[in-house]
Amino acid sequence: MDTQRREGGLWQMIWAFDLITLIFLVITAIISLQTKDLLSAAMIFGVYSFLMCLLWAGMAAVDVAFTESAVGAGVSAVFLIATVLRTTRRSSD
């Protein structure tokens, strides 16, 4: 059973992977909230959801990861784009 545990080196790699993904997560969150174009805000929010999905796959929560990739990056991005197309694309802030 010990062979199925993650080895020490791999665990260190996942630690570094988590840190890099979290930094990109903060960057995408800030960009998606600061951009004035709502369509690009929706697309960058999709990138944010995808990064979140990667993070959950690294945390051994595979079920949460593919639910997020289907529902978060897929459906909610579609909802946001549909709203942007039916209303207006510009945002004041």
Partner 1 sequence: MELLEALSAKFNYWIYVIIMMIGLYAMISKNNLVKKLIGMSIFQTAIILFYVSIGVKEGDTIPILYHDQVHPSHGDSHHGADTGHGEDHHPSHEEIVANLHIEPDDFANPLPHVLMLTAIVVGVATLGVGLALTQKIYRDFGSIEENEILESIKSAK
Give the residues lining the site for partner 1 (CB under 8 A): 1, 4-6, 8, 11, 18-19, 22-23, 25-26, 29-30, 32-33, 38, 41-42, 45, 48-49, 52, 55-56, 59-64, 67-68, 71-72, 75-76, 79-80, 82-84, 86-88, 91-93
Encode 26-39: b = buried (16+ Cβ within 10 Å), e = exposed: eebbeebeeeeebe
Beta bridge partners of 90: 37
Cβ at position 71, least distance to partner 1 in Å: 5
How far does Cα 64 stand from its chain's mean position?
Answer: 12
